[in-house]
A and B are shown apart, each in its own frame.
Chain A
Amino acid sequence: MLVGAFAVAHTPQLLARPDTEDRDLVLRVHAAFARVKRRLAELRPDAIAMIAGDHIEAFFLSGVPAFAVYAGTECAGTFGHYRYRFPIHEPLARGILEQGIERGFDLFYTQDAPLDYAFYVPLHFTMSSPAVPLVPLHVNVYLPPQPTPRRCHDWGTALGEILRARPERIVLMASGGMSHYPGTDRYASPDLEWDRRTLELLTEGRGRELAAVTGEELDKAGNVELRTWITLLGAVGPARAEVYCYEPSWHHGNAIAEWPL
């Protein structure tokens, strides 16, 4: 069953803060993560299915899947001096993969890919000890042609049905966003207005409307990673988001939200 749904930022500067970043802002985002951690303790999940955009980490140009499921026994990765490892909920990973394929989504799977910091940064701040087993779900957000927002939403709808039919208590978490343009000329001017309009839509339970946004619009708004949220929106349907924080830095709209189910 699906017991909770969250969308979270994963900016690496929240973990390793350079002197260019406002410390108070970083700490406010940490406080929102702490709130997610408390909610996770209340929700008592058996597994966390986590949708993250791949930062060309699990998959380089030797293979670029639109949607992938990590179906190994554990997964590990590194970011700077951080070394991390999490158990995988293998029966759930296989269930998502097999039923996703049955429903017409030609999913890629892996048992051996490094775990990106898009997964690790939120888990660093929200994961309990011992860790709840994960199912990492990848979406190609950075290497065009990416899956369309419509396809992400459809995959999320199927994913939601699959999760609801499972015996485990499952939390769905989407990692990514909001507006940022790493490595481009627009890095210092995130589209905060687009973010705010979108958050308003989500608090009204109108997430479905994001399925109609084009990939080009997401790129323009610095929100290529919002494909992970749009996937989650397919799963949560008309639920209304509760925004824990929206903390725009000089280069990034850091948002954390929950969809109470």
Chain B
Amino acid sequence: MNDLHYRFPPASAYRLNRCLFAMKSDPEFLSRYLADPKTAAAEMKLSEDESRDLLAANRDAMVARGAHPYLVFMASLRVRMEREPSQFEYF
């Protein structure tokens, strides 16, 4: 089952997944993240390595640590929607 696209989220990646979840689903946390990513990552108690991968938007490294690919995808889309709102057409 290791070749599945979506795998069981290991407990070791819980904090990283919780942080990605907050970025996609908690608008207040996303604002804090956009204002000061490092402090927001520390608020979520990420390790130094997790924080570095998150700030660098290093998807492969995060997924290798057990981050859920969908959470990585949507957290990054939400960041883009906030940082570059004019790049979107809203219906």
* B91 adjacent to A181 (CB under 8 Å): no
* A182 adjacent to B69 (CB under 8 Å): yes
Chain B, Cβ-Cβ closest to A16? B88
* B87 adjacent to A19 (CB under 8 Å): yes
Query: Residue among A17, A30, A181, A184 with the most chain B CB within 10 A?
Result: A184
* A222 adjacent to B5 (CB under 8 Å): yes
* A17 adjacent to B69 (CB under 8 Å): no
* B18 adjacent to A60 (CB under 8 Å): yes
Interface 1/0 per residue, A209-246 and B, CB below 8 Å: 00000001001101010000000000000000000000
How many A-B pairs have beta carbons closer than 8 Å: the answer is 87
The verdict on A204 contacting chain B, using a C-beta distance below 8 Å, is no
The verdict on A103 contacting chain B, using a C-beta distance below 8 Å, is no
**Chain B residues near A104 (CB, 8 Å)?**
none
Known contacts A144-B6, A144-B7, A184-B5; A56/B71 CB under 8 A: yes
The verdict on A201 contacting chain B, using a C-beta distance below 8 Å, is no
Q: How far is the CB of A223 from chain B (nearest CB, A)?
A: 11
**Chain B residues near A224 (CB, 8 Å)?**
5-6
* A15 adjacent to B87 (CB under 8 Å): no
Chain A, Cβ-Cβ closest to B89? A17
Given A26-B91, A143-B9, A220-B5, 6 more A-B residue pairs with CB atoms under 8 Å apart are A14-B91, A17-B90, A60-B18, A60-B21, A183-B73, A224-B5
The verdict on B55 contacting chain A, using a C-beta distance below 8 Å, is no
How far is it, in angstroms, between the C-alpha of A2 and the C-alpha of B6 when the chains are bound? 34
8 Å CB contact of A216 from B4, B8, B9: B4
For window 175-211 of A, CB contacts with B under 8 Å fall at: 181-184, 186-187
8 Å CB contact of B77 from A12, A26, A114: A12
* B91 adjacent to A17 (CB under 8 Å): yes
The secondary structure that dominates the B interface is helix
Chain A, Cβ-Cβ closest to B11? A61
**Chain A residues near B27 (CB, 8 Å)?**
78
The verdict on B80 contacting chain A, using a C-beta distance below 8 Å, is yes
Question: How many residues of A sit at the interface, in one of the four size bands?
Answer: 35 or more
The verdict on B51 contacting chain A, using a C-beta distance below 8 Å, is no
Q: How far is the CB of A76 from chain B (nearest CB, A)?
A: 13
For window 48-91 of B, CB contacts with A under 8 Å fall at: 59, 63, 68-74, 77-78, 80-82, 87-91
The verdict on B25 contacting chain A, using a C-beta distance below 8 Å, is yes
Q: How far is the CB of B81 from chain A (nearest CB, A)?
A: 5
How far is it, in angstroms, between the C-alpha of A18 and the C-alpha of B76 when the chains are bound? 13
The verdict on A57 contacting chain B, using a C-beta distance below 8 Å, is yes
Interface 1/0 per residue, A1-20 and B, CB below 8 Å: 00000000000101111110
* A57 adjacent to B25 (CB under 8 Å): yes
* A219 adjacent to B68 (CB under 8 Å): no
**Chain A residues near B70 (CB, 8 Å)?**
55-56, 142, 182-183
**Chain B residues near A187 (CB, 8 Å)?**
73
* A186 adjacent to B5 (CB under 8 Å): yes
For window 1-54 of B, CB contacts with A under 8 Å fall at: 1, 4-9, 14, 17-18, 21, 24-25, 27
